[in-house]
Amino acid sequence: MHNRSYTFKKKEKLCSKKVIDQLFSEGTSFISFPLKVIYLHCELPVKSKVQIGFSVSKKSFKKAVQRNLLKRRMREAYRLNKHLLTEKEAEKQLAIFVIFIGKKILDYNTIEQSMIKAMTKCSKINLPEK
């Protein structure tokens, strides 16, 4: 059995405004319904291989309680399946932003399946040449 760490530490959270702006301007996106994933191979301000951020539309979910519930479910799905991304050795770092685009609150299993599909796709994408 692998020695996996099922944690989600501060250094794995995408906080840098500069990186987020770069991600949205230069990043590539795909949809793994109900999630939209935007990713970019770039230089991150920390040692972590992957940094990730989560968002839920205020337009679709007016109540903060609902948005927070969905973000918690997305974070949990990522935390338990991040090994799909981090086990591969990569010389470049990866910034990812996950946006919930569904119109209604979905159960954890649906979100997790979508997250697994998205993480698998991100890990298969070829790294750009230096």
Domains (range + CATH), the chain: 10-123 (3.30.230.10)
**Which of the two residues, 9 and 54, has the higher pLDDT score?**
54
- Most confident among 1-5, 71-75, 126-130 (mean pLDDT): 71-75
Point out the least confidently predicted range of 45-49, 50-54, 55-59, 112-116: 45-49
Predicted confidence (pLDDT) at residue 27 exceeds the cutoff of 70: yes
Q: Report phi then psi at 122, rounded to 5.
A: -60, -40
- Cα separations in angstroms, 108 against 32, 42, 75, 78: 15, 30, 11, 11
Q: Report phi then psi at 63, rounded to 5.
A: -85, 130
**Which of the two residues, 68 and 128, has the higher pLDDT score?**
68
pLDDT for the residue 91: 67
Nearest to 92 by CA among 58, 29, 31, 50: 50
